[in-house]
Structure formats: C-alpha cells, structure tokens
Structure 1
Amino acid sequence: MRALIQRVSEAAVRVDGAVTGEIGPGLLVLICAMKGDTEAEADKLANKISKMRIFKDDAGKMNKSLLDIGGSALVVSQFTLAADTRSGNRPGFSTACGAEEGKAFYEYFTRAMAATGVPVATGIFGADMKVSLLNDGPVTVWIDTDQWA
C-alpha cells in the first residue's frame, strides 16, 4: 500500500458540493492499494500512521503521535499514488489494484485505522472528490509498504 500523509490543522472532502468527511487537527491520509497488497500490510500501515511521531511536543519537537494528541484522520482513496512516470509524459497506473479490490482494501484500511483508536472520516471511493486542507508545518510523509523489510 502507498500512503501520503499530511499533518493538518483541518481538512475536508466534498462530493457534489456536500461534505462527506472533515476533521480538525490530525492527518489527511491519501491511500492507494497496490497489486499484491495484503490485509496484514494494511493493518501494519494503520498502526504505523497512528503512532508516527510527527506532531510537536511542548518543546516544539516532533515527538507526539496522532494518538498522543487525540487527533483524527481523514482517509481519502487516491489511485494516482500508483503513478509510474518512468517513460513518456502520461503516467501509468497498472500497478494499482482494480476498482473492486481497491475499494475493498480502502474500506479495510479505514476500519484498521479506526481500530487503532483514531477517529476516522472518509471520502467516497471512486467519486470526484474535492479535498481541502490547511497543511500544518508543512509536514508531508510518503509511506510505501513495499519498502519495508
């Protein structure tokens, strides 16, 4: 799985003008299921994100996690994280899961994230979403479970 996480002061996703999910302080999690991913990877990724120490402590150091600050996660599916840009000018997305499998992994990951104790809001899988955020820092982190040993 691939995730791009952004520390935010607030974030929201809208579909057809209606808010489908919004959070205050926490993380915007853009997530992509890749071919060959497993539920175990989704569980590990959710746990990693919930415990990643990228929030400031009282001394201004990044020592606190999403769980530590009582923050929320806005989880948005984004198959374009699978973009292969090695050749030509048009990205390829053949390494992303197909829509049905991708949706199942997205829903599984969302439940796994909630199971860590983090309040979770979501977008709508496959919808034309408008995502707004107020990036805090900015702090943006790329995670790819294929890079884990």
Structure 2
Amino acid sequence: MMASDDSNSNLPKARIILQQCLSAKLQVQPRTEEQEAQFVEINRGLVVYVCFMKGATSDTVDKMVKAAMNARLSSLDDGTSKLVSILDLPGEVIIIPQATLGGNLKGKMMQYHRNISKEEGLDLYTSFVRQCQDLLEQSNKTKEQHKQVKYGTYGNRQVFSMVTNGPFSHYLEF
C-alpha cells in the first residue's frame, strides 16, 4: 500500500538560520565584462538564511518572518545581558536565499528533491523580504534608527562574508 501525501505533513516546509553579525557583505551580481560585481552590505544586525521546500505557503512565510524578526538574539550596548530582537536594535537585516538548507544526505551525496520549484520559491522569497522590510520600517521609532533590509538574488550563487562576535547559529524549521 502506498503512503498518502499526508505522511509528508510532518516534514518541514521551510528552514531558516539566524545569526547576529557585526557586519556582512553579500555579492548580489557577479562581475561581467561590462560591469563590476555588485554587493549589499550591513553593519550590526541579523543575517537570515532562507530555504523553502515543497508545501510552503504564504502562511509559512508569515510564521518565518515573525520568528526571524522577533527572536531575541542580540544584546543591547547598555552593559546589561538583556537580549532583544532586531526590531529593538538600531541594526540591519541581510536575507540570503539558501536552497542548500533543503538538502538531505543520502549516502555520500546531498539531494534536494524536497525543495520547492524556483518559481514558487522566488514568489515566497519576495514575500519574505517584503514582510521583513515592512516590519523593520514599522519599528523605526526615530529617524536616528534608520534600519534597512538588504537581500540576495534568488537562484544565483553569491559570495558572502561576515564578521561576528560569536557564530551563534539558530536553526528553525516551519
């Protein structure tokens, strides 16, 4: 007897990794004969790696955005050990599409059969970025707290560098 599609209901539909950073730089367009490589950069803030798998929907994106933007991972510069979310910091966010988070090791090879189609993934990624931008914009309490969301190019290989004061990686599934 074949298993029904319901057997996949417990499998994750998306994954994110969150890391706080002191600075980060992501290549969003490689160098061509006509143009130099293009980069986006942030200073202190949050790095969000994003992967969508089969079954991901706009509801999945909503949950991911709330988790990523509200997770209390960063400390204030006031000498206390109180942790706050990126919404409470004068920090920035860089979002990196990371399809490899959807991989599973089979033998010695990684397989990505559970990843969503590129078209659906791009739609969900675009929604994720837009919702993060909206939340961060709403959290700009004063003009001095100019916060931004920078993001990578979906479907391209990208060069990335980051400076962190501890590679605290937080892995979440949805």
Same-fold call, TM > 0.5?
A: yes
Cα distance in 2, alignment partners of residues 136 and 104 from structure 1: 33
Cα distance in 2, alignment partners of residues 27 and 143 from structure 1: 15
The answer for the alignment partner of 2:21 in structure 1 is: 8
Residues 66-145 of structure 1: pairs in structure 2 closer than 5 A:
66-85=86-105, 87-117=106-136, 119-145=148-174
The Cα of 1:60 is off from its aligned counterpart by 4.6
Specify the code of the residue in structure 1 equivalent to 2:19: Q
Q: Does 1:34 align with 2:70?
A: no
Helix, strand or coil for the counterpart of 1:138?
A: coil
Cα distance in 1, alignment partners of residues 58 and 81 from structure 2: 33
Q: Does 1:56 align with 2:70?
A: no
The Cα of 1:59 is off from its aligned counterpart by 4.2
Give the number of the structure whose residues are more often strand, by fraction. Answer: 1
Equivalent pairs counted in the alignment come to 144
Per-residue deviation, residues 59-106 of structure 1 (Å, max 9, x unmatched): 452511101112111111110000111x21111101110111111111
Cα separation, partners in 2 of 1:98 and 1:62, compared to 1, 3 Å: farther
Structure 2, unmatched stretches of 5+, are 1-13, 32-36, 138-147
C-alpha contact (below 8 Å) 1:54/1:62 kept by paired residues: no
Larger radius of gyration: 2
Cα distance in 2, alignment partners of residues 136 and 126 from structure 1: 29
Helix, strand or coil for the counterpart of 2:50?
A: strand
